[in-house]
Amino acid sequence: MSGGPPRGLPSTGPHSLLDMPHPLAGSSSEEAVGGDSTPSPDLLMARSFGDKDLILPNGGTPAGTSSPASSSSLLNRLQLDDDIDGETRDLFVTVDDPKKHVCTMETYITYRITTKSTRVEFDLPEYSVRRRYQDFDWLRNKLEESQPTHLIPPLPEKFVVKGVVDRFSEEFVETRRKALDKFLKRITDHPVLSFNEHFNIFLTAKDLNAYKKQGMALLSRVGESVKHVTGGYKLRSRPLEFAAIGDYLDTFALKLGTIDRIAQRIIKEEIEYLVELREHGPVYSTWSALEGELAEPLEGVSACIGHCSTALEELTDDMTEDFLPVLREYILYSDSMKGVLKKRDQVQAEYEAKLEAVALRKEDRPKVPADVEKCQDRMECFNADLKADMERWQSSKRQDFRQLLMGMADKNIQYYEKCLMAWESIIPLLQEKPEAK
Amino acid sequence: MEQAPPDLERQWQPAPLEPLGHPDAELQAAVDEEAEVSRDEGPGDGTMTENNFGLKKIEISVSEAEKRTGRNAMNMQETYTAYLIETRSVEHTDGQSVLTDSLWRRYSEFELLRNYLLVYYPHIVVPPLPEKRAEFVWHKLSADNMDPDFVERRRIGLENFLLRVASHPILCRDKIFYLFLTQEGNWKETVNETGFQLKADSRLKALNATFRVKNPDKRFTELKHYSDELQSVISHLLRVRARVADRLYGVYKVHGNYGRVFSEWSAIEKEMGDGLQSAGHHMDVYASSIDDILEDEEHYADQLKEYLFYAEALRAVCRKHELMQYDLEMAAQDLASKKQQCEELATGTVRTFSLKGMTTKLFGQETPEQREARIKVLEEQINEGEQQLKSKNLEGREFKFGPMLRNALARCNPVK
């Protein structure tokens, strides 16, 4: 991945989770590591985005990818906030402050989840809990169960190849944190999912494990019924629009996969280029030692190449940390979405089969039996939910990719600007002519 | 150090060349610079340094390159490139230039000229030619001598070579050089007739042979050491640079893959379609931009190579000096021993052990006639030896101006 030795997080020491001070008891994060502590949403809204030269303070980038001074990224953030169907937000969730826990059985990371809301569903205006990846996984499963007609956002990958990636390295944890934050924000933005009871519990419960053990299944009516849909019905004809969505997702995932491969290849080539550059600079230093009048200019060239090397390293790090994860996220998203499409097909298939069965019975009564009606109901609900979610997904996809590609362009431009600056700064040195002896 | 005649000293300030690589660079600029330099450093007026070929200023340019086919020495068909050399004389009064000569030469003729100069002026750092074959090549660059970019860079290099020779106060007066610029036919024969190949010291060909010099000139030793180090560091630099270019090429070209996939992706998108298509196009442009960038950088590499070869030339001069010094010491040693022998014969005393002495003791002394004869032979040899020594000393004096060349080199264009 990125160059340089991965830095591990400081550990809280070997004690069990139960001994940990309660997050709401006002524990300070003196052992916290992680530069990007996301500012509260209030702060985010209060900033003025009119001034393109606005320099944001360090660490003030909310799960962002672009540099502070980049005007394009500011515009993107502005759009993101505006694009909630004109409604004012009443729920804000952020993920930050990763901490390592070392216990006898295992070592793992928890993240702080901060929630601010004026909704009636929340007893308190503000919550702060700690959750680990397992908990997020649980949440996602519960959402899939309880809201099967909706598209549930993806989680970052569960398993990491041990030995290849250090799952406690700062870079890895930060990448994961950003993805988890994105996950929760997507749920927050969803008009149906954000009101889900499991989601509420996840954000507020002091002891999530206890809740999990109780196995409280609060399924919505539709969810309950869809759960019992038997498979095995063959679909006659898929409505055009859903077929189109399926095709789209197939191609989309394919193209993203290709882009991911290309991006990885580019990073690899850039790193190899970097290796050569790191050898290139010092040769000028060696030469400089042989010379008299030329010594200073040559040393200057060497330093200049050094600056370019550093700039390149920063570029490859940024691309690895910010660009690749988003591609992977959308590939996972597409996969899960195709799963939902399949479920929809199943629901339609069951309805059609039952309808056909009724038609075959050749009864004169035009009355449609209750269970067929229920199937039709289910199908129509599913179709409506899915269509609405797809539109929402398309819109946020556009935004995400716009930000992603512009971020990539920005990062590259910054790299070239840094190099340009380095070279321009030594031109006077090179043009300086020594006095005639 | 003996005081050299003022003329000689002034002539030893070769002119730096500015700007370099400019196709129609005028000799005028170089000449002016030289005049300036001599004004700072030595007595005398500018008349000596301004002249070429008898009180006339000339402009030289290698203006064109052309592919030709012909038959080589083995009567086999070959393809080569010929270069057009144009010489113009600049009239003092109105500054207009008139084309006086124009002829075609190929690389091998340039080589011949240079080899000739190397033999006849062993104490001068002869300007380098552009490389014979493309070296320090990164993989995409054509190592083909027919490649138009290579030919263009070679053209520039050949022009620089001629301009530098022409601006050298000693080399510019050489007849063979003059004929190279003016006499198209039979020039090769004329050069070979000088017999310079025979004059070349074959000992110099053995690059690593060391000549044990008793009193090496420290300045030359340092200069040789410097030229070795310079060669080494520039070679290293060129090698690394070639690898860097190779890698950079890879980075840019892979971006080209984005072009196709963005285009394919844009086909399935509605609102994003145009943007993605445009992005793909720009990726293609980006990927293809590297070719020109790297071609430009080759010109920088060429300048490095120039100094690599210059360092080689400098080293050659140091080696020739070493060899000459060695010969001098050997000659002096030989002379001394002969003088001693002569003295011994004359006085009849045997100071050192010699076979002759022994045989004399054993078999009786030789006749006076025999002794006279031997003394005479020795005296002749002594005379010869003294003459040789004198001439070698003279040669040596010429070499002593070597260190000034280093100053001149340092004054030449700094690294870009």
Residue A217: Cβ within 10 Å count: 12
B77 beta partners? B71
Q: Which residues of B touch A395 (CB under 8 A)?
A: none
Rounded to a whole number, what is the distance in Å from the CA of B250 to chain A's nearest CA?
Answer: 6
Do residues B371 and B356 lie in contact, with contact meaning Cβ atoms separated by under 8 Å?
no
List of residues 6+ apart from A5 with CB closer than 8 A: none
Per-residue pLDDT band at B49 (split at 50, 70, 90):
very low
Q: Which residues of A touch B255 (CB under 8 A)?
A: 266
For chain A, the average pLDDT equals 78
pLDDT above 60 (res B106): yes
Do residues B130 and B154 lie in contact, with contact meaning Cβ atoms separated by under 8 Å?
yes
B257 touches chain A (CB under 8 A): yes
Is the entire prediction scored with pTM above 0.80?
A: no
User: Tell me: the pLDDT tens digits for A127-148?
Assistant: 999 999 999 999 999 999 899 8
Query: Do B240 and A279 lie within an 8 Å CB cutoff?
Result: yes
Closest CA in chain A for residue B235: A283
- Long-range (24+ apart) CB contacts under 8 A made by A409-415 are A409/A72, A410/A66, A410/A67, A410/A70, A410/A72, A410/A73, A411/A66, A411/A67, A411/A315, A411/A318, A411/A319, A411/A322, A412/A315, A414/A67, A414/A311, A414/A315, A415/A311, A415/A312, A415/A314, A415/A315
B106 beta partners? B82
User: How far is residue A335's CA from residue A151's CA, in Å, rounded to a whole number?
Assistant: 11
A255 touches chain B (CB under 8 A): yes
Rounded to a whole number, what is the distance in Å from the CA of B14 to chain A's nearest CA?
Answer: 15
List of residues 6+ apart from A281 with CB closer than 8 A: A301, A302, A303, A304, A305, A306, A309
- Cis ω for the linkage preceding B127 (within 30 of 0): no
Task: Provide the CATH number for the domain formed by A237-432 in this structure.
Answer: 1.20.1270.60
Per-residue model confidence (pLDDT) at position A20: 47
Rounded to a whole number, what is the distance in Å from the CA of B298 to chain A's nearest CA?
Answer: 16
Q: Where are the domains of chain A?
A: 237-432
pLDDT above 50 (res A112): yes
ipTM for the complex shown: 0.73
B296 touches chain A (CB under 8 A): no
What is the DSSP secondary-structure string of B154-188? Answer: HHHHHHHHHHHHHTSTTGGG-HHHHHHHH--TTHH
Per-residue model confidence (pLDDT) at position A420: 95
φ/ψ region of B57 (left if φ > 0, alpha if ψ in -120 to 50, else beta) reads beta
Q: Which residues 349-378 in chain A show a CB within 8 A of chain B?
A: none
Amino acid (1-letter code) at residue A348: Q
- Nearest CB among A259, A273, A437 relative to B251 is that of A273
B251 touches chain A (CB under 8 A): yes
Cα–Cα distances in angstroms (integers) from residue B41 to residues A350, B27, B410, in the given order: 103, 21, 15
Closest CA in chain A for residue B247: A273
Work out the average pLDDT over B119-141: 83
Rounded to a whole number, what is the distance in Å from the CA of B389 to chain A's nearest CA?
Answer: 36
List of residues 6+ apart from B360 with CB closer than 8 A: B366
Work out the average pLDDT over A58-84: 45
- Nearest CB among B233, B254, B272 relative to A283 is that of B233
Per-residue pLDDT band at B75 (split at 50, 70, 90):
confident
Q: Where are the domains of chain B?
A: 331-401
Do residues A156 and A175 lie in contact, with contact meaning Cβ atoms separated by under 8 Å?
yes
What is the DSSP secondary-structure string of B48-86? Answer: HHH-BTTTBEEEEEEEEEEEEEEE-TTS-EEEEEEEEEE
Cα–Cα distances in angstroms (integers) from residue A422 to residues A149, A262, A413, B389, B403, in the given order: 55, 29, 14, 58, 36
Chain B interface disruption, residue of A72, A250, A262, A399, most B CBs within 10 A: A262
Query: Do B261 and A259 lie within an 8 Å CB cutoff?
Result: yes
User: How far is residue B232's CA from residue A288's CA, in Å, rounded to a whole number?
Assistant: 13
